[in-house]
Structure 1
Amino acid sequence: MAGSAHGHGHTPAAWTGVTISFIGFCVAGVFMVAANPLGFWGGIAITLVGGVVGYGMKAAGMGAQKESAERKQAREQAGRVVAERVAAQSTI
């Protein structure tokens, strides 16, 4: 979703957590095929660590920031101005 208005998932916390979890998923998959339960559960543990790291980074301020009331108001006002300009041009 490149055009997402909220930037969903486009933060260092999200990228790091997902990358670690993906590596754990791959490790678990390899060891599952190799019929090695210890390695499989190790991969599952790595996957869970990815979630913990992502959450910790978000708590440290590397996740999505909340939008302030002033910024929200400015964004809505800019949207109204653009809508008015588009409506004015379409009547020409």
Structure 2
Amino acid sequence: MSKQAHGHTPAAWTGVVISFVGFCISGAGMIMASTLVVVLGMVVAFVVAGAVGLAMKGAGLGKQPDPSVEQYKAEFRAARSAGTPEAVTVGA
């Protein structure tokens, strides 16, 4: 599991920090009873954080593919397309 670096990338952390700021803005908007500020915070939390995270991932700052996992997927697809009964247990 640790080899996959699930969530331990600059893109993931930046998205989380921006989402946290957006939720804080929405929380302040709830206290102020301002629908506009709540909606603005949700836009920051979902749209802006998602866009920035995806842009950073596209720039190479996200999770990099693991070659051994990609090899296993290719072997599994080949066995499954061949229709062999061992398709379920390839690599097990």
TM-score range, shorter chain: 0.5 to 0.7
* Structure 2, unaligned runs of 5 or more: 73-92
Q: Which structure has the bigger radius of gyration?
A: 1
- Within-5 A mapping of 1:4-83: 4-47=2-45, 48-69=47-68
Structure 2: distance between partners of 1:25 and 1:54: 16
Please list every run of at least 4 consecutive aligned residues from structure 1 whose deviation after the TM superposition is greater than 3 angstroms: none
Tell me which amino acid in the other structure corresponds to 2:25.
V
1:58 shift after superposition: 0.5
Structure 2: distance between partners of 1:54 and 1:30: 24
- Aligned-CA RMSD value: 1.8
SS in 1 for 2:64: coil
Structure 2: distance between partners of 1:46 and 1:62: 21
TM-score, normalised via structure 1 length: 0.67
SS in 1 for 2:52: helix
Question: What is the number of equivalent residue pairs in this alignment?
Answer: 69
* Structure 1, unaligned runs of 5 or more: 74-92
Q: Percent identity?
A: 48
TM-score, normalised via structure 2 length: 0.67
1:10 shift after superposition: 0.5
Tell me which amino acid in the other structure corresponds to 2:63.
A
